[in-house]
Structure 1
Amino acid sequence: MLNISPRPRRSCLYMPASNMRALEKAKSLPADTIIFDLEDAVAPDAKEEARANACDAVRSGEYGKRELVVRINGMETPWFAEDLSQACLSGADAVLVPKILNAGDIGRISSLLDEHDKDAKTSLWAMIEMPLAIVNLGAIAATGPDTRLTSFVMGFNDLAKEMHAEHDRTIFAPVMTQAVIAARAYGLNIIDSVYNDFNDPDGLERECREAGKLGFDGKSLIHPAQIETANRIFAPQPEAIGEAQAIIAAFKDPVNAGKGVLVVDGKMTELLHYRQAKQLVATAEAIAALAK
C-alpha cells in the first residue's frame, strides 16, 4: 500500500483570483486549502490580472498554514504556459490543471513543472472532469509515483455537461468509486466535486458524508459558508482516533514484536490495519497542528 499524504484537505475552497476582496478574505478563513482560480471564475479579459493577483497572494506569506493551490487554465488555452510558469515561480504548493484527458497529459505537465521548479516544491493536481479522463483513470493515476501528480479533484459539473446528462449526483456513483480505487492504488489524494447550492447546508452535509464513506479526503467548495461542514465531516472522529491509537500501541508493544496479526479490542488486526491506523492518527495530528 502506497502512503497517502496526511496533510488535511478536508476543505478546498475555490477563490476567484480576479476578486481582490475574496483573496483578502481567504486569509482569515479556516479552509485547509485555498485554490486561487484562474479558470472558470475569471473572464478572458481578466486572465492576466488574475494570474498576477494569485501569484502575489502566494508570495505574500499572509495565508498562514493553509495549502495554496493555483487552478490554471487548460492546456489548450493561450494562458496555460504562462499560468504554469508563474504559479511555479510564485512557490505555490500545487497547480490544479483542468480537463486532463490521459496519462500523456500528466507526463507533459510534469516535465514542464520540472523545468520551472527545480526544487520540486510545486505538485500537480488533476481535474477529473472529462469522459476520456474517466476512461483513462487507472493509467492517469499510475503516473503518480513517477511524476508530480499527487491529487485528483473531481469536477462533476463539467462531466455532466460533456455527457449531455442532467446534473444528478446519483449517476456519478460508479465514477466516484472507480476514482477512489484508482487514486488509492497509486498513493494519490482525492477531493470530491463542489456542491453548487451554498444555501443548502443539509444537501452539502449529505454529499460530504457520502464522499467520506467512499474514501474521499475532502471536498472542493465554492463558498466560505461550506467550510465548517467539510472540516467537521472529513476530520477523523474521536472514536476512530482512539481505535487507531490502540492498534498502534499493540503493534509497538515488544511482546508483539514480529507478529503480523493481533487481536485488538476483540478484533483481528493485521499490518494493513496498523498502517491505516498510523495514517489516520497522522492526519488527526496534522489537523490539530493547523489550529495552533
Structure 2
Amino acid sequence: MQKHPHRSALYIPGSKDRALDKARSLPVDVILFDLEDAVAPDAKVAARDTLYAALADGGYGGRRRIVRINGLETAWGKADAAAVAAMDCDAVLLPKVNGPSDVDALAALVPDTPIWAMMETPRGVLNAAAIADHPCIAGFVLGTNDLAKDLNSQGRAALATSLQLCLLAAKAAGIVALDGVYNAYLDEEGLRAECAEGRDMGFDGKTLIHPAQIAIANAAFGPTEDEIALARRQIAAFEAAEAQGQGVAVVDGRIVENLHIVTARATLAKAEAIAELESS
C-alpha cells in the first residue's frame, strides 16, 4: 500500500454547504474541514451537524479528511470532539497544542481517531519532539500565522527555527509535517517560491486557504517527470552494479549508493500514490 500524498491540504469551512460540496471535486490531497477559525461563534454549533451530514453523504474519494476542532479549553471544543468521534473522517486536528498532555486530553474523547497537532505556539514548538512521539499523533500542521503573532515577528525568515524544530521532530517520529498557509492567495509567484522553500526544507505539503492555490502546491510537492525518470535510471544502474558485485553505480557522472536508492524508491512510490489518488 502506497503512502497517501499530502501535497496540498485545503481548509474548508465546516459551516458552508456550498464549500463542502465543491471540495468533492477539487484536485486536493487533504481536506481540512474547519470548525475553528473559519466558523463564526454563532455558527459553531450548527456547523457540527452540517459537517457530519456532508461527511456521511461522502463523495470525497481518496482525499484525506481531517476535521479541525476548537480548542478543548473553549466553549465548543469538547462537544466538537464528541461530534468528530462519530464522523466519517480520517483524523482530528487539535489547535494550539502545547504539549503531550493536550493530546492526552483529546485522545480520551476520540479514542479511535488519529490526532494531528497544530504547531502554532512557542511552547508547542519547544515541546515538538515530545508531541510528535505521542502514540496518537499522526501529523503536524504548522500554524504560521498564530506563531508569528505570538513571537511578535514578521517575515518567513523569523520562523525558520520554529519550522525546522517541528520538522526535525516530525521526521524523527515518522509522521507527516505540513507547512503553514500563504496568505496572499492571488500572488502565484510568492506562493510558488514559498512552496519550493517548504519542499526543500522537507515538508510533505502545504496548507492552503483557497482552491486557486492547489495546482501550485501539487506541482511543488509532487515529483517531476525528470525526477521520476532519474529515480528509475538510478535504480536500474544500481541493480546492474549489484549484479556485478559492486556497491555503487554512476548515473549522470554522480555516484549512486544505497541511500540514493532509498530516496529513488520513495520518489516512485509517491508518484504511484499520486496517480492512484487522482484516478479515484
**TM-score, normalisation: structure 2:** 0.91
Residues 1:13 and 2:5 are matched in the alignment: no
Q: Summarize deviations over 1:240-274 as a string: whole Å, max 9, x none.
A: 21222234345556x727x8942241433343333
- Structure-to-structure mapping, 1:71-86, within 5 angstroms: 71-86=68-83
Residues 1:212 and 2:199 are matched in the alignment: yes
Name the CA distance, whole Å, in 1 between partners of 2:50 and 2:193.
Answer: 34
SS at match of 1:112: coil
Contact 2:142 2:180 in 1 (8 A): yes
**Structure 2 stretches of 5 or more lacking a match?**
none
* CA separation of 1:226 and 1:263: change in aligned 2, threshold 3 A: same
The equivalent residue for 1:269 is 256
Name the CA distance, whole Å, in 2 between partners of 1:87 and 1:22.
Answer: 19
Name the CA distance, whole Å, in 2 between partners of 1:279 and 1:82.
Answer: 40
The equivalent residue for 2:26 is 29
Contact 1:260 1:271 in 2 (8 A): no
SS at match of 2:229: helix
- Structure-to-structure mapping, 1:65-144, within 5 angstroms: 65-114=62-111, 117=112, 122-143=113-134
- Structure-to-structure mapping, 1:142-221, within 5 angstroms: 142-143=133-134, 147-166=135-154, 168-221=155-208
The equivalent residue for 2:217 is 230
**Structure 1 stretches of 5 or more lacking a match?**
none
* CA separation of 1:208 and 1:260: change in aligned 2, threshold 3 A: farther
- Structure-to-structure mapping, 1:251-266, within 5 angstroms: 256=242, 261-265=247-251, 266=253
Residues 1:289 and 2:276 are matched in the alignment: yes
Name the CA distance, whole Å, in 1 between partners of 2:249 and 2:102.
Answer: 46
Structure 1 position 233, deviation (Å): 1.1
SS at match of 1:90: coil
Q: Mean alpha-carbon deviation: is it higher for 264-273 or for 236-245?
A: 264-273
Q: Summarize deviations over 1:85-116 as a string: whole Å, max 9, x none.
A: 222321211111100001222233334332xx
Q: Summarize deviations over 1:200-250 as a string: whole Å, max 9, x none.
A: 111111111110111111111111111111111111112221222234345
Q: Mean alpha-carbon deviation: is it higher for 267-276 or for 235-244?
A: 267-276
Name the CA distance, whole Å, in 1 between partners of 2:237 and 2:55.
Answer: 43
Q: In the comparison of the two structures, how many residue pairs are matched?
A: 277
Residues 1:53 and 2:50 are matched in the alignment: yes
Residue type of the alignment partner of 2:275: A
**TM-score, normalisation: structure 1:** 0.88
Runs of 4+ in 1 over 6 A off after TM superposition: none
SS at match of 1:100: coil
Name the CA distance, whole Å, in 2 between partners of 1:246 and 1:263.
Answer: 10
